[in-house]
A and B are shown apart, each in its own frame.
Chain A
Amino acid sequence: MDIALITESIETLLGGVVLTLELTILSLLIGFGLSVPLAFMRASRSQWLSMPVLAYTYVFRGTPLLVQLFLIYYGLSQLAFVRESFLWLLFRDPFYCALLAFSLNSAAYTIEVFRGGIQSVPPGLVEAAQAIGLSPTKIRLRIVFPLAFRTVLPSYANEVVGMIKASSLASTVTLLEITGLARKLVSETFAPYEVFIAAGAIYLGLTFLASRLFNLIELHLSGAPPDKARFPWLLKLRQAL
């Protein structure tokens, strides 16, 4: 094992961190945006609302992400309406294919996580909101979702870590994020141990940072005494919203 080669590789691979983060964060954001309304549909008592969402989460959670990615990257071009519209500008680019696959996949998992949280909110808290005449949308956004999100924060943190790791699949559609760069580097240096261990170290750093961040948020939301909040700016931000 060549330590110097590892440090050298880390330097090279850091160039892929931006793309990894870009893919991860954008997918998480899009996935989050999709999953909030869909989770409420999924948690709804109406079968007409919940069943289609269940079908979506069931299929996306029951098949490998790699298949989903290839289906989008290789398969979409077969559809005439994709090839002959503005969509082609997006989906001939592997970046957007990966982004679409990751977002849809992340949304599927996040929906089920949020659904659990939504269903765990005590009904009395919703009744208290109804009793002051709050509108259903405001009840969902201001009471139910914030409470649900707090409950499922640890599971959502796992989702985020999972997304960081899953973004490595982008390397299979020619994208040079961390894993893509690593594979390229291995084919040039023939030093798989050093390069892949270097890549692993970078991922470990990223996933560690992500879980630390969520630990801090959780700590802040659950235990901070009111008068000496650990993050005054967060309290201010919240009051401003």
Chain B
Amino acid sequence: MQTAIDIHSENPRRGRAAAIASLRAENVHKTLGTHPVLRGVSLAAYPHEVISVLGASGSGKSTLLRCLNLLEVPDSGEIWFRDEKLDIRPPAGRNGARIGDARQARRVRASLGMVFQSFNLWPHKTALENVMEGPVHVRGLTRRAATECAEHYLRKVGLIERRDHYPRHLSGGQQQRVAIARALAMEPEVLLFDEPTSALDPELTGEVLRAIRSLAEEGRTMILVTHELSFAREVSSRVAFMQGGRIEEEGPPEEVLSRPASAGLRRFLDPVC
């Protein structure tokens, strides 16, 4: 609990009106197949904020996260990275929405670290190689500098002694920590977590949550899609509750989670009543 309070006191929310959001979605719509998954979602992450996005499965929270780094391209609405609007082409004819400026998308993605539910480590590369890939081939570091960078972040997630292991020789929790190191090695502005513990056995979630918590304590800007309610309550500066492709409620965790205003969130928090 102590940690959560620390974050809040450090969080410069007073200057929020003046500050520029690090990452912002504005009235985003997205239909997958014939199913409207996002129906006008706006969300902004300001520097040093930790935002948890909650909601039942199918509420659109993962799609929202994937829209933020254009793994899904919104049908309409805007995505802003700091003061830069991302170039999105709306659907035309039979073609779906697509990225307008591939270079921009790549540059922005490099500044947004993404951690996936299913880790998505590259199985043909060792832990170190997985982490080094971005520094060498996107950031353009020398091999020596990239190795140092990768080792730094592997040490940070507590896996430096596993640097030469292939993903298949690592536990799920270890794989996810390598994936976090891989995202960190890009020195990203914002970290995006897509249900990072959902694919893990319960006894392995702890090590991953600890790693995420320590990142929150560093004051990193993060958006976290999660099912871990108590964890979200502890680390978040803000929570957003999604239902039916919309954000139903949004605010500080102590308010939103203790005094839910909507019936949907009340049901979500306490399915029994």
Residues on A lying within 8 angstroms of B by beta carbon are 122, 124-125, 127-136, 138, 142-143, 146-147, 150, 221, 225-227, 239
Question: What residue in chain B is nearest A225 (Cβ atoms)?
Answer: B169
**Interchain residue pairs with CB less than 8 A apart (17):** A122-B120, A124-B118, A127-B120, A128-B116, A128-B182, A133-B110, A133-B134, A133-B138, A134-B106, A134-B137, A143-B122, A147-B122, A150-B124, A221-B124, A226-B164, A226-B165, A226-B169
Query: In the complex, what residues of B have CB within 8 A of residue A130's CB?
Result: 71, 109
Interface presence of B78 (CB below 8 A): no
Interface presence of B176 (CB below 8 A): no
Query: In the complex, what residues of B have CB within 8 A of residue A133's CB?
Result: 106-111, 134, 138, 186
A202 to B182, CA, bound (A): 50
A132 to B111, CA, bound (A): 8
From known contacts A124-B116, A143-B122, A147-B122, infer whether A132 and B134 are also in contact, taking CB-CB under 8 Å.
Answer: yes
Query: A132 near B133 (CB under 8 angstroms)?
Result: yes
Query: In the complex, what residues of A have CB within 8 A of residue B110's CB?
Result: 132-133
Question: Which 5 residue pairs spanning A and B have beta carbons closest together?
Answer: A133-B110, A128-B120, A131-B114, A132-B134, A124-B120
From known contacts A127-B116, A227-B164, infer whether A134 and B138 are also in contact, taking CB-CB under 8 Å.
Answer: yes
Query: B137 near A142 (CB under 8 angstroms)?
Result: yes
In the assembled complex, the CB of A123 is this many whole angstroms from the nearest CB of chain B, namely: 9
Query: B124 near A147 (CB under 8 angstroms)?
Result: yes
Query: B133 near A131 (CB under 8 angstroms)?
Result: no
Query: A142 near B71 (CB under 8 angstroms)?
Result: no
In the assembled complex, the CB of B52 is this many whole angstroms from the nearest CB of chain A, namely: 20
A159 to B122, CA, bound (A): 26
Contact with A131, one of B69, B121, B122 (Cβ below 8 angstroms): B69
Query: B138 near A132 (CB under 8 angstroms)?
Result: yes
In the assembled complex, the CB of A49 is this many whole angstroms from the nearest CB of chain B, namely: 15
Query: B122 near A138 (CB under 8 angstroms)?
Result: no
From known contacts A133-B107, A133-B109, A226-B164, infer whether A128 and B137 are also in contact, taking CB-CB under 8 Å.
Answer: no
B100-159 interface with A by 8 A CB criterion: 102, 106-114, 116, 118, 120-124, 126, 129, 133-134, 137-138
Query: In the complex, what residues of B have CB within 8 A of residue A132's CB?
Result: 109-110, 113-114, 133-134, 138, 182-183, 186
Query: A128 near B138 (CB under 8 angstroms)?
Result: no
Query: B112 near A146 (CB under 8 angstroms)?
Result: no
Question: What residue in chain A is nearest B179 (Cβ atoms)?
Answer: A128
Other 10 A-B pairs with CB < 8 A, given A134-B138, A226-B164: A127-B116, A128-B120, A128-B179, A131-B116, A132-B133, A132-B134, A132-B183, A135-B137, A226-B126, A227-B165
Interface presence of B166 (CB below 8 A): yes
A124 to B195, CA, bound (A): 14
Query: In the complex, what residues of A have CB within 8 A of residue B121's CB?
Result: 128
In the assembled complex, the CB of B181 is this many whole angstroms from the nearest CB of chain A, namely: 12
Query: In the complex, what residues of B have CB within 8 A of residue A227's CB?
Result: 164-165
Question: What residue in chain A is nearest B129 (Cβ atoms)?
Answer: A239
Query: A128 near B69 (CB under 8 angstroms)?
Result: no
